[in-house]
Amino acid sequence: MPWTMNDYPSSLKNLDKPERKKAIDIANAMIDEGYEEGTAIPIATEQAKEWYDNASAGEIDDFMKEADPTNRDEEDKQYKNRPELLDRAEMVVPHEDGWAVQANGAEKPAEVFERKSDAVQEAKDIAGNKGTEAVIYKKDGTEEDRHSY
């Protein structure tokens, strides 16, 4: 769950506003990369404190002028910290909860569907938007179909 300056873990409430904003920003980026919330929060808090202690008044001022962390669009979130995934194919692969759609090389799926047909349609939509490929796999892991855009 992406956090904002109005909705964040209670463990961040005692931080100064710049530290809290930085911690939220770092934690959101870590979540986007696949870290668990329980791991991301303490790491982000420590890194934000270190940043705050070492940043100049001007750097803190500039950071506070930036937009507050907000809920990001799902597609933006998936690629913001890993822009190389924009050039990679979208794959439909078996998942314990159904069928996963994820960029080739991504650490975790963008979305999981119960029905394969829904996953295929999502992969085609994303690949079409990116101008890449949608690669569909069978349950046994072999390639079933490929659509280029």
pLDDT at 71: 46
pLDDT at 84: 55
Domain of 113, in residue numbers: 82-148
| Cβ 12 vs Cβ 20: under 8 Å | yes
Q: What angle do CA 21, 107, 93 make, to 5 degrees?
A: 135
Task: Give the side-chain half-sphere CA count within 13 A for 91.
Answer: 19
Same domain, 95 and 46: no
**What is the DSSP pairing of strand 90-95 with strand 133-137?**
parallel
Same domain, 113 and 133: yes
Same domain, 14 and 53: yes
Same domain, 16 and 67: yes
- How far, in Å, CA of 86 to CA of 131, rounded? 9
Domain count, the chain: 2
Same domain, 15 and 67: yes
For the stretch 118-144, pLDDT in tens is: 999 999 988 888 888 999 999 998 999
DSSP structure class, residue 87: G
For the stretch 58-72, pLDDT in tens is: 999 988 888 777 644
For the stretch 82-112, pLDDT in tens is: 555 566 889 999 999 999 999 888 878 888 9
Retrieve residue 48's tokens: 């934000």
Inside any domain, residue 45: yes
Q: What is the pTM of this model?
A: 0.48
Of the listed ranges 35-44, 77-86, 109-118, 129-138, the least confidently predicted one is 77-86
